[in-house]
Structures are given as structure tokens and as C-alpha cells.
Structure 1
Amino acid sequence: MALDDDTHRGPGVSLLTGLDMSHITLCPAIAFNKIVGGRYKLHILCVLHRGPLRFGEIGRSLVKGGLGKPITPRILSRELKDMTELGLLDRKEYPVVPKKVEYSLAPRGKALLPILSEIVRWGATGVHEEMLEVPQSRH
């Protein structure tokens, strides 16, 4: 089955949403994965939805829900830098000593909250833990 006569042009109408996609070159699902893919980016967006946090606060927040494995400062720094460059996060540096930097959701990051909400809603069923064979904790 052929995808399109012209593979460099997107499909006319999305079968999933019914939206006109003829002006789109890159599949939105692939783009989404490139933008927020990786182990921590979605989790960073989730923890920042409550408000601005400092570097260390973000790092500590990522341990809970991540099977207890802490993120290294180097990886956290890279993720925050990437997300800031993409316009998902705002970085505010205060003119104080010691250095104080806060990260918050930028409008582009806030626009992803409804998607994250649906992912969390799906996760509330627990099916992801079954699929990934996550050991069940005792309450």
C-alpha cells in the first residue's frame, strides 16, 4: 500500500483527527518525540506545572516517580538547557550571591499541559506498569 504519491508532502487530512495536514512536512508525532523525548523532559514539564523551581528542587522532584534513580546534575543541566532553547521553559537568573536561577513553564510548555494531563490520566489506570513489568510497591 503506497503512502502518498508525493512522500515529501504530508497527507491531506489526518485520519486520526480529521484536520487538514497538507501544510505539514514533519509528522507531528515524530516532532513531539524529538521535542520532549528522552527520559526526563516530560517529567520536568509535570513538576514545573505547579510553579517555578530551582535546579536542585527540580532534580529532587525527578527522583519520585522515576523508580528512585536520581538524575545526574550534568543530564539535568542539559535537559533544562535544551528545553529553554526550544522555548518550553523560561529561565530567570537573579542578581544575587550565591547564584539563584529559577525555571518555569513558558507558553509553549504550558500548551503541552493538556497532553500531559491525558498521559497521566492514562497512567492512572496502571496499565503502563503492567506493560513495563514494574514491581508493585507495598502500601
Structure 2
Amino acid sequence: MNIEPVKDRCPVEFAVNMIGGKWKLLIINRLIRHSTIRFNELQKMLDPITHRTLTRQLRELEEAGLINRVTHPVVPPKVEYSLTEKGQSLTSILFQLGDWGSKHM
């Protein structure tokens, strides 16, 4: 996923490439509301997302610098996700999007 800014590229295109798709904004929204979430909890919240799709979306969000992934060295493995400062900067935008959705449902 190439999300590096390009000189002649539109900022909206850059943002959409970073957070676009069916699941990324929903993942970010859950992390805004719950602060830290384990993988299985997140998957239950986003049912019917598949394990593979959630893994891929989380990796892309991590590569984009929007989420943190912390692995605890226990058996079974415990992995937690949270928003970075960059990810938290999307909070007001998501709340505005939610308000718009409520008005136009």
C-alpha cells in the first residue's frame, strides 16, 4: 500500500488511500470508543469480518501509523490494538461523519 504523499496528488486521494475501504473506518471508530481492544473482541464487534480481512486491515492501518499493535509474551498470545496520536486525530472527523449519517439515514 503506497500512502506516501506525491507532489501532484490530491490530499483527499491521499486520505482515502490511507483510511478507505469497508472496514478501516469501522476499526478506527471501535478503537476511539474502546481505547484498547484485543483481536478477537474487535472481530466480534465487526461481525461478519473474516479473520484474514481483519488481519490485513489492521496491518495496513499499522503501516500507515494509525494504530499500535502490542504483543504480550504469554500463552496463548495476547495482542492488543490502540490508536496512535495520528489515529486519534481522526476522532472529530469520524464524529462528524456519524452526525452526517444520523441526519441522512
Same fold (TM over 0.5): yes
Match of 1:124 in 2: 102
Aligned amino acid, residue 32 of structure 1: A
Aligned residue pair count: 98
Instruction: Using structure 1 for the length normalisation, give the TM-score.
Output: 0.68
Q: Which residues in structure 2 correspond to 1:32-43 (within 5 Å)?
A: 32-43=15-26
**Max Rg structure:** 1
Match of 2:41 in 1: 57
Q: Distance in 1 between matches of 2:87 and 2:9?
A: 20
Does residue 76 of the first structure (1) align with residue 44 of the second (2)?
no
Q: Distance in 2 between matches of 1:122 and 1:48?
A: 20
Q: CA deviation at 1:32?
A: 1.1
Gaps of 5+ in 2: 1-6
Q: CA deviation at 1:25?
A: 3.1
Instruction: Using structure 2 for the length normalisation, give the TM-score.
Output: 0.88
Match of 2:77 in 1: 99
> Going by fraction, where is strand more abundant, 1 or 2?
2
The structure with higher relative contact order (CA 8 Å, sep 6+) is 2
Aligned amino acid, residue 43 of structure 1: L
Q: CA deviation at 1:61?
A: 1.0
Aligned amino acid, residue 62 of structure 1: L
Aligned amino acid, residue 69 of structure 2: R
Q: CA deviation at 1:97?
A: 0.8
> Going by fraction, where is helix more abundant, 1 or 2?
2
Q: Distance in 2 between matches of 1:25 and 1:113?
A: 27
Deviation >3 Å, runs of 4+: none
